[in-house]
Amino acid sequence: MNGSRINRFFPYLLLLPSFLILLPFLYWPTLQSFIMSVYREAPFGARKFFCGAYNYVNILSDPAYLNSLWRTLLFTALVTGVGLAISLLCAVMLNQKVRGAKLYRTFFFIPYAISPAVAASLWVFLLNPVAGFVNYLLYSLFHIQPPWLTDGFLAFVAVSMASIWKDTGFNILFYLAGLQTIPESVIEAGKIDGASPVQRFFKITVPLLSPTTFYLVVMNLIFAIFENFGIIDIMTAGGPANATNFLIYNLYRDVFINFRPGAAAAQSVILFVLIIGVTIAHFKYNGENVHYQ
Amino acid sequence: MKRFFIVLGMLALMLSLSLVNVSAKEVTIQFWHAMGGHNMEVVNSLVDQFNKTHPGIKVEAQMAGTYDDVLSKTQAAVRTKTAPHVIQIFEIGTRVMIDSGIIIPVEDLGKKVARDRSFNWNKWIKPVANYYRMDGKLNSMPFNSSTPLLYYNKTFFKQAGLDPNQPPQTFEDLKKYAEKLTVRDAQGAVTRYGMTLAIYGWFAEQMSYNQDALYVNNNNGRTGRPTKALFNGPALVRFLDLWKAMVDQGTMLNAGAGTAPAQQAFLSGRAAMMFESTAQVNNFENGLKKIGSELGTAYLPLPKGVKRGGVCIGGASLWVTKDHPEEELKATWEFLKWLTLTEQQVYWFENTGYFPTTLSAVEAAKKTRFFTEHPNYATAFQQLLIAKNDYATQGAVMGSFAAVRKTVEDAVEEVLSGKKTTKKALDDAAAKVDKMLAEYNSLYQ
């Protein structure tokens, strides 16, 4: 009797330390965002009015915000989809038993280890229209000098490219770990049954990696929506003409530059709902297709 | 256990250090600024000198990032009641600071708190005092003032057969000159652009003032809070049309947002002309020397037949936050007053490229023949002095200025990329700005 009671409360006791940390740094600010989103506030907090759903109505009826929402979704899909495909490909190649494989793995992981600000500055140098290496190469090979960061479409491509490059290291690491859990015997059996390398890849490797993929999709969604702020801030600052003004950047501008904390809080609530929604949907529809060994 | 003692030791050290501070009765003044690189060193040496000559007061200068960063960090600091005494805020933050409720106007600080009768409140040159004087009061201490200039590469002018002492004065000339200055290779690709320009809202504002046009209503927000954007008038349309035509022609490099890429193009000799702040004079003179070129400067060009209004000062000023003990506010006043003395003013502008803001500093500069020896500094200063004295050149003030600037920059990008016509892009931007102004104003009704 006594023992079972201890068992019932013991897990909560173990959770308590993390909860105590999460409470002031995560739950409390989240709650405050919700409260702030129904207020309008003057810069420096001199005046504050309750305004109900004003901020939400204002944002959701703003074509610029809807445009930003649409672009964010496109960017997220692109970064997650293309990023994971490239990462898987790299991981499979890095999993080969070749000389110096460990060294290559380290090289591929480096982009994830450097800070977004440094990574973005690097890309700005590379893509500089005048002194950049990419345009120098393109000019000497094909005689073209694309305006990477001043054309809306190309800037979108450039930011996506940088984000994919930045997150690849993280994805590869997990895929490599996943690949190494696939027993040699299964692959061997496929070989004996006469499956080609491509068939083996799609029929054996990809399904057996589904738990990893499942986890990485959620992580990449979060990377694409939140973590790539630094890259955007330094590479394009949301421009040109809002082509890369994604939700998180729009939010940042509203709170720190435009001094509209209420509007920004409402945007963060919208983002919160969006992320929760996508994650639940992902668990519900894709979770069923995940094969755990 | 070892770690425990280290922590204990550090705590004891910190405690003793703070005790030392108290016993010395030193007043500490926090000063946040946005001067990076070379200019940061100039600020630091000024502060060091003040500290050396003023026992009992210690100014702690801290570079807090960009102008935007200083504003947002101050916001956060105010909420935790740790606002610095002196903050350097850019000119477009003026309205927000006045409305903030956290500042004490420097004129009140000097007259009421410090009861300083000897201070001359008319010591500033007119355009500078005009900008920061609102409701008949000087709200912040003018510090670093600048205006935009046309910079050009004299060596490239000679190579293109242009007279390096005859810079373009009209829009038409600018376009013609840029055509001549543009160099293409055998395949027709541009290797040197006639001109480059950063997409920076400040240039749009200045081009508007220069044609004597108001940016917003209520006399640029000088006689009441502005409620309507006026920048979609003919002045800015003319400037954007020129900009677009030159980019399309391939004689102007579109350097995108932020000023760094355009500066880089000019300094590396990939562009022959550009508009930039006077704060760059020093940097550009040295930079062009490195590629074997000579720097020239000129007034901002005007469309043919349009009368000159004039440029308005940009840069930043020093604001004082009010929630501090009287003793600290008095020390703050000492520091601000000291910065306006001729010696400090001269040191500041000779080392940075910002203007002398006081009349006595101008006199001193004339005596030492500084302007004769540095003609590029002189251009900047003369351009400011020939400006008409009216609401247009006094410059706009409004609450949501940073957002307004961004909106105009977006419009410029829409025009350059051919998404919208000039008039349409500016009209749309003006409609957005009207909404922003209404939203801001409604907070103070």
Same domain, B165 and B215: yes
Backbone φ and ψ for B57, nearest 5 degrees, come out as: -120, 135
pLDDT tens by residue, B399-432: 889 899 999 999 999 999 899 999 999 999 999 9
Rounded-to-integer distance, Cα A43 and Cα B103, Å: 13
Same domain, B362 and B396: no
Give the model's confidence band at A293: pLDDT under 50 very low, under 70 low, under 90 confident, else very high.
low
| Angle, vertex CA B315, rays to CA A258 and CA B346, nearest 5 | 155
Six token digits for residue B379: 């251009």
CB A104 within 8 A of CB A282: no
B12 assigned to some structural domain:
no
CB B353 within 8 A of CB B347: no
Helix ranges (DSSP H) in B25-108: 37-53, 67-79, 94-100, 106-108
pLDDT tens by residue, A237-292: 887 888 899 999 999 999 888 888 899 999 999 999 988 888 888 888 776 667 66
Nearest C-alpha of chain B: how many angstroms from A150? Answer: 5
CB A291 within 8 A of CB A210: yes
User: What does the pLDDT average to over B45-73?
Assistant: 93
Winning range, highest mean pLDDT, from A114-123, A127-136, B199-208: B199-208
Same domain, B111 and B139: yes
Nearest C-alpha of chain A: how many angstroms from B267? Answer: 11
B15 assigned to some structural domain:
no
Of the listed ranges A148-152, B106-110, B192-196, the one predicted with least confidence: A148-152
In this prediction, residue A279 carries a pLDDT of: 83
Determine, for residues A43 and B100 on separate chains, whether the beta-carbon distance falls below 8 Å: yes
pLDDT tens by residue, B10-21: 666 665 555 555
Mutate which of A234, A245, A259 to test chain B, going by most B C-beta atoms within 10 A?
Answer: A259
pLDDT at B232 over 80: yes
E strand segments, B289-422? 295-298, 314-321
Which residues face B277 on adjacent strands? B148
In this prediction, residue B11 carries a pLDDT of: 62
Structural domains of chain A sorted by starting position, each given as residue range(s) with its CATH number in brackets = 62-287 (1.10.3720.10)
ipTM > 0.85? no
Same domain, B226 and B288: yes
Of the listed ranges A164-178, B44-58, B150-164, B348-362, the one predicted with least confidence: B348-362
Determine, for residues A239 and B417 on separate chains, whether the beta-carbon distance falls below 8 Å: no
Nearest C-alpha of chain A: how many angstroms from B114? Answer: 26
User: What does the pLDDT average to over B37-42?
Assistant: 88
CA nearest neighbour of B321 among B133, B156, B79: B79
Give Cα separations from B124 to A252, B92, B273 (angstroms): 37, 20, 32
Same domain, B250 and B111: no
B6 assigned to some structural domain:
no
Average pLDDT over all residues of chain B: 90
User: What does the pLDDT average to over A209-238?
Assistant: 89
Determine, for residues B78 and A150 on separate chains, whether the beta-carbon distance falls below 8 Å: no
Number of residues that this document lists for chain A: 293
In this prediction, residue A1 carries a pLDDT of: 47
Same domain, B296 and B398: yes
Same domain, B239 and B95: no
CB A46 within 8 A of CB B101: yes
B382 assigned to some structural domain:
no
CA nearest neighbour of A32 among A290, A274, A269, A278: A269
Same domain, B42 and B119: yes
CATH number at residue B131: 3.40.190.10
In this prediction, residue B23 carries a pLDDT of: 45
Distance of CA B2 to the CA centre of its chain: 52
B4 assigned to some structural domain:
no
B16 assigned to some structural domain:
no
Determine, for residues A240 and B199 on separate chains, whether the beta-carbon distance falls below 8 Å: yes
B376 assigned to some structural domain:
no
Rounded-to-integer distance, Cα A122 and Cα A110, Å: 13
In this prediction, residue A175 carries a pLDDT of: 94
Structurally, how many domains does chain B consist of?
Answer: 2
pLDDT at B7 over 90: no
B349 assigned to some structural domain:
yes
Tell me what percent of the residues of chain A surpass a pLDDT of 90.
Answer: 42
B406 neighbourhood in chain A, CB within 8 Å: 253, 257
Q: What pTM, to 2 d.p., does this model score? A: 0.86
Give the model's confidence band at B221: pLDDT under 50 very low, under 70 low, under 90 confident, else very high.
very high
Same domain, B326 and B407: no
pLDDT at A187 over 80: yes
User: What does the pLDDT average to over B33-45?
Assistant: 91
Same domain, B226 and B244: yes
Same domain, B338 and B249: no
In this prediction, residue A103 carries a pLDDT of: 86
Residue type, B26: E
Question: The tokens 């201070």 sit on which residue?
Answer: B119
In this prediction, residue B13 carries a pLDDT of: 60
pLDDT tens by residue, A37-82: 999 988 887 788 899 899 999 999 999 899 999 999 999 999 999 9
Domain span holding position B306: 148-310+389-443
Mutate which of A36, A123, A130 to test chain B, going by most B C-beta atoms within 10 A?
Answer: A130
Six token digits for residue B238: 């003319």
Same domain, B266 and B343: no
